[in-house]
Structure 1
């Protein structure tokens, strides 16, 4: 809301929601009651994250499973689309993609090739394709359950978007919001 909407009464919204924003700080400091220091920590965190959105177009929403990440992503998708902007919604699996409004799998949407563990190849998007034309007018990409994807798939997408969009910023300059929960990923033991 702070980035994509024009909030008229930020003070009122803060007063109504400050306990929600500060709840993580309360928990991490092993406190049972809110105080001014906890609220200041929450405000600093908001400022840090919203400020970095304008300098760096990559945003990661990290929250425990079942806390409403998909709900928040759908609100974001609908809000940006209501402004007439193009938004692409993808997920690492077909099941997760069905939870997003207009969602598809990332591999399907971006033509991400299957790769070996340590291999990085660009996606199969040609600069003259219809998908490239769509990407050039895209304002936002949302990728849910990103922690299920091999890091090389993100690198491949980044390399491809920089090339197709002729923009050397992260993800070709498109605002990139991803979400996931690292606690839901099992550790991998090589050779195990």
Structure 2
């Protein structure tokens, strides 16, 4: 019996880390409950820079040019004011989270009449990251965007944009997008 208990305890200690997922800094900032999605598929961008798990019933588009490669997806079975639109782009451009970077972002927000509500530096996938929440109006709806920037290396970064239209369950819908983003697999 002693040997049996040792074997069971060894299995528990080996598999325990896989059964308990720890919330990321981003999930903690938004106070997200753990989200799970069923029937996921792996989608990889055209240049094989990253892959992400996306529910199979969500509409997905891929795009690339000389400066970027992206995966754009949303649950189109829901109304615009009930879903989250997600655009994850690998941008081939040097980026560092310095004053010039923040000034450029804020200038872009002003050009399209968006007001920054909050921002914070954090770590995602052990990489320096930064998020910014902006609000405005678009297509007659209140509009919220969570922009997440992940500094991947000295020549590129990831820009993930989580878009929410309307004012119903905004945080919950952003959390759905965050839970998918947290599982991004960087392949470069």
Class of the TM-score when normalised by the shorter of the 2 chains:
0.3 to 0.5
More strand by share: 2
Calculate the TM-score normalised by the size of structure 2.
0.33
More helix by share: 1
Calculate the TM-score normalised by the size of structure 1.
0.32
